[in-house]
Amino acid sequence: MRRGPGVVAPMTERFVVQVDADQFDRLARPTQPLAGITELLWNALDAEADVVTVAILRTELDGVDVLQVMDDGHGMTHSDALRDFRRLGGSWKKNRSSSKNDKRPLHGKEGAGRFRAFAIGSCVEWSTVAFGANGKLYRTVITGSLDSSEFTVSEPEELATGTVGTTVRISRPREYAHRLLADDAPTRLVIQTAVYLVKYPQIKVVYDGTVLNPAAILDRETSVELDATLGGDHGAPTLRIMEWKPEAKSIKPTLILCDDNGVALSEITDDVDTRSGIPYTAYLTWAGFSELINDLLLADFGHDTLKPIIDAARDAIREHINTRLSERRSEQLDRWKASRVYPYSGQPKTVAEAQERRIFDVVATAAATAVSHEPKAARLSLRLIREALSQPPGALHRVLRGCREYFTSAFMR
């Protein structure tokens, strides 16, 4: 039945959400619109969606106009909507560890994620279709306004045909919504969801036309089990280091704290090893993080349980990077030897020569970016590095600088 504009259906309910203004402002912080997208993705995945599509409709000036998140999850019933939107913390997830049909572990339990949608825009509409108790399909529409913190839940509309799912439509974009159009936005979302998407490969998430597929940019993965005594009754924390392919060089090394199902809960960027130049993300999974979720932001400030676990993870990352640097040095030396540009031949004949080679290998591989890939130029550069190591301090720097400048000008002629 169609109704004219401005006519409120008899069963429509309107209410102001019960949440402190400061808490609402924190959840809807406009400087973090991508966090809003992440929460909407997790809500869809918690609803057992297999396909989630984020569409960004643009203005004539190529800015964000309207954003839509569409999923094929189980949707919300009318009673679900009334319970979940009436107050912060009202959620069917609160006393559950798995989704409604026990297909997947749950990400959120606090009923706060949906409010993060207001970090993107001031007006949000949820149009959701779910099966009622009688087995029939019903659509419920929930609208919310940042200006008034008011929500309206429509009467349930019975549908003759259709499928379950939810579409979230966000309009009146806020001042930082343009960050959603950044080139690295899909990559940042991949980082937040990588472990989960690898675990459930049947899930397809599309962001602004780009499929979020961690496997497409994953180069190698290493798992390290930390000391079991650190985890106590929750078991040993596990560190998964995912190294990304060179084309993902925009990814900055971070340590992400996850529950035991790989759901990201918090991110740490301080004191994370960046020496290798390899783009990677380290995921620290431990069941105890879920119980201590409110303490995660204080993990680096002397928390009795969390700090030792995170410190152990940092040590494991450093050890891994040391190993990878050693491997990269060996790989580079093997390439030079295979192309016959390495300035030594045969085995060292004396202890002094062996020591000289060790020093050369360390210095040359550290300076590999200054060595040309062209065999003739590389042979000359490596020979000059060898000779410079026998000269007074400062000679090596001059040689490397001269090699770079000479070969750059030579190949530009």
Reported confidence tier of residue 1, pLDDT bands at 50, 70, 90: very low
Can you spell out the DSSP letters for 41-70?
A: HHHHHHTT-SEEEEEEEE-TTSSEEEEEEE
Q: Given this model, what pLDDT does residue 13 score?
A: 75
Per-residue pLDDT tens digits for 226-250: 999 999 999 999 999 999 998 887 8
Averaged over 152-180, what is the pLDDT? 95
Residue 96 has pLDDT above 80, yes or no: no
Residue 356 has pLDDT above 80, yes or no: yes
The residue with greater pLDDT, 246 or 44, is 44
Structure tokens at 373: 């890939």
Reported confidence tier of residue 175, pLDDT bands at 50, 70, 90: very high
Using left for φ > 0, alpha for ψ between -120 and 50, and beta otherwise, residue 162 falls in left
Structure tokens at 384: 């000059």
Among 95-99, 235-239, 307-311, where is mean pLDDT lowest?
Answer: 95-99
Residue 159's contacts (CB-CB under 8 Å, 6 or more residues apart) are 129, 136, 137, 138, 139
How far is the C-alpha of 52 from the C-alpha of 205, rounded, in Å? 5
pTM for this prediction:
0.73
Say if strands 150-153 and 137-145 run parallel, antiparallel, or are unpaired: antiparallel
Tell me the C-alpha to C-alpha distance, in Å, between residue 175 and each of 26, 66, 120, 142, 183.
16, 13, 8, 24, 18
Q: Among 3.90.1150.10, 3.30.1300.10, 3.10.20.340, 3.30.565.10, name the CATH number for the domain at 13-98+106-181.
A: 3.30.565.10
Tell me the C-alpha to C-alpha distance, in Å, between residue 29 and each of 16, 21, 146, 336.
19, 12, 11, 52
3-state secondary structure 164-192: CEEEEEEEEECCCHHHHHCCCHHHHHHHH
Q: Given this model, what pLDDT does residue 393 score?
A: 57
- Minimal CA–CA distance to 184: which of 266, 282, 246, 251? 251
How far is the C-alpha of 140 from the C-alpha of 128, rounded, in Å? 5
Per-residue pLDDT tens digits for 311-351: 999 999 999 999 998 998 899 999 999 999 999 998 999 99
Q: Given this model, what pLDDT does residue 411 score?
A: 42
The residues spanned by each domain of the chain are 13-98+106-181, 212-331, 339-412
Can you give the C-alpha Rg of the chain in angstroms? 28
How far is the C-alpha of 126 from the C-alpha of 113, rounded, in Å? 13
Averaged over 141-149, what is the pLDDT? 84
Among 4-18, 62-76, 148-162, 197-211, where is mean pLDDT lowest?
Answer: 4-18
Q: Given this model, what pLDDT does residue 176 score?
A: 94
Exposure string for 175-213, b = 16+ CB within 10 A, e = fewer: ebbebbeeeebbbbbbbbbbbbbbeeeebebbbbeeebb
How far is the C-alpha of 172 from the C-alpha of 197, rounded, in Å? 31
Q: Given this model, what pLDDT does residue 229 score?
A: 95
Q: Given this model, what pLDDT does residue 9 score?
A: 45
Residue 2 has pLDDT above 60, yes or no: no
Q: What is the identity of the amino acid at 88?
A: L
Residue 406 has pLDDT above 90, yes or no: no
Q: Given this model, what pLDDT does residue 89 score?
A: 53
- The mean of the pLDDT values for the chain is 85
- Minimal CA–CA distance to 367: which of 338, 399, 390? 399
